[in-house]
Amino acid sequence: MSGAADQMSDAELVARTARGERTALRLLFMRHHTRVYRFVVRQTGSETMAEEIANEVFLEVWRQAPRFEARSQVSTWLLGIARFKALSALRKRKEKALEEGQAEAVADSADTPEVSAMKEDKATALRGFVNHLSEEHRTVVDLAYYHGKSVTEIGEILSVPIATVKTRMFYARKKLGEALQAAGYDRGWP
Amino acid sequence: MSENPQSNRRDRLEALLPFFLNGTLSGAELREVEEWLASDPQAMASLAEAEGEYSATLADNEAIRPTDDALARFSEALAEEAGPEKMAKPAFRERLARILPAFPVQAAWVAAGLALAILVGQTVWLGLSQTEQYSVAGAEDDDAPFAFVTFTAEASMADVSALLDESEVEIAAGPLPDGLYRVLIPAETAAQYDEIVAGLERAGVVETVVTGRKPGDE
């Protein structure tokens, strides 16, 4: 735990975690937890699930740190783990709901994005439209705009080809544009 | 892209704009987007739309806040996973432990005159609380630049006080596990941040500095 700040990279913290240094893992947690948590909330729609899954992500780092090969950024690795765990949790929740005979989804009683948009300014409307994208489209948008990930990194996190990432981004942006137009806002494309 | 995604140049470039904005585009794709932006007036309008999406996505994400005790909860989960931790107390704590009992509590606080003394005194050494206070980056002071520091074994409270005053650094949270403190860095630019952090590193009383959020980081 000495040396210049720049030397304490995420990769070094993972290496120290691999040697059993819990302080290093806690530092990684403090650096990345908020982003991981937000990513999982956006995946699952549940803050309770996200809290549990985010913890699981960093426990997984504790277990897997010796096998981390630094081929990708640590943040990309973390989001990949988070994505996998979120999907697993959602699958379990769905199975449980089916077993219990519950409705698969609860109808959203709120205004549709289009209706809400008429009441709000364009920026606020756009926030609503981003939130109402399908999960796979919103995830790509989040990973690019909020997490700053490249096409290749998003492909790694989602385990999909690069072309799929681009196609999803295209349709996500197209849907945002169409929603804005439908709500009466100018939009040059599509 | 509606019929053949790869055949429509405009659609393909629209799909790349978010990656142009986040700075991850490179090579031929970057050049193609730059040429498009330079030559087509519609491209600049599209870029403005993408910037709007960028802002909306940031706002949506930043509205989500983890709980304040996230690190404490994780530390408990880690202890369950890895077993109890051997607590080697940082030497700075040992030194404080030797100093504080020599003074009446109020006198020590007044003499210290520091948030640090209050934090350490309240949460660790005076036993007023059995639960250490934790804080998670991003959960509070969300936009404030910060770093993590630990102090050396030889650091006295006077030394730490002088350093905090001189650098105008404020302790926001601590002691975290292993003697870490989260400190707010009074910087408006990344260069100022680096300068202050470098000053902390040079200070004899600081053992470790780990960068956190810099100005400009969202």
Q: Which ipTM was obtained for this model?
A: 0.80
Handedness of CA B155, B161, B166, B172 (dihedral sign): positive
Residues of chain A with CATH 1.10.1740.10: 7-106
Q: What is the pLDDT of residue B106?
A: 39
H helix or E strand, kind and range, residue A97: helix A74-99
Task: Convert the pLDDT of each residue in B148-173 to its tens digit.
Answer: 888 887 777 778 888 888 888 888 87
Topology (CATH level 3) of domain A7-106: Rna Polymerase Sigma Factor; Chain: A (1.10.1740)
Contact B125, B200 (CB under 8 A): no
State residue A190's pLDDT score: 62
Q: Is the pTM of this model over 0.90?
A: no
Task: State whether residue A3 sits within 8 Å of chain B by CB.
Answer: yes
State the pLDDT at residue B36.
93
At residue A20's C-alpha, the angle toward residues A75 and B120, to 5°, is 85
CB contact under 8 Å between A55 and B19, yes or no, is: no
DSSP state of A109: -
Q: The tokens of A145 are what?
A: 């705009």
Which A residues in the span 31-50 are in contact with B, Cβ-Cβ below 8 Å? Answer: 31, 33-35, 37-38, 41-42, 47
Q: Residue length, chain B? A: 218
- Encode burial over A16-46: b for 16+ CB neighbours within 10 A, e otherwise: bbbeebbbbbbbbbbbbbbbbbbbbbbbbeb
pLDDT digits (tens, 9 = 90+) for B100-152: 444 444 333 333 434 444 444 333 333 333 333 444 444 445 678 888 888 88
**What does the alpha-carbon distance between residue A8 and residue A94 come to, in Å, rounded to a whole number?**
41
- Cα gap A148→A138, rounded to integer Å: 14
Residues 6+ apart with CB under 8 A from A172: A133, A137, A138, A140, A141
What distance in Å separates the CA atoms of residue A46 and residue A43, rounded to the nearest whole number? 8
**CB-closest option in A167, A170, A173 to B53:** A173
Give, in words, the CATH class of A108-184: mainly alpha
Residue B78 touches chain A, beta carbons under 8 Å: yes
| Residues A123-173 pLDDT 10s | 888 999 999 999 999 999 999 999 999 999 999 999 999 999 999 999 999
A169 vs B: CB within 8 A: yes
Q: Kindly state whether B199 is in contact with chain A, defined as any CB-CB distance less than 8 angstroms.
A: no
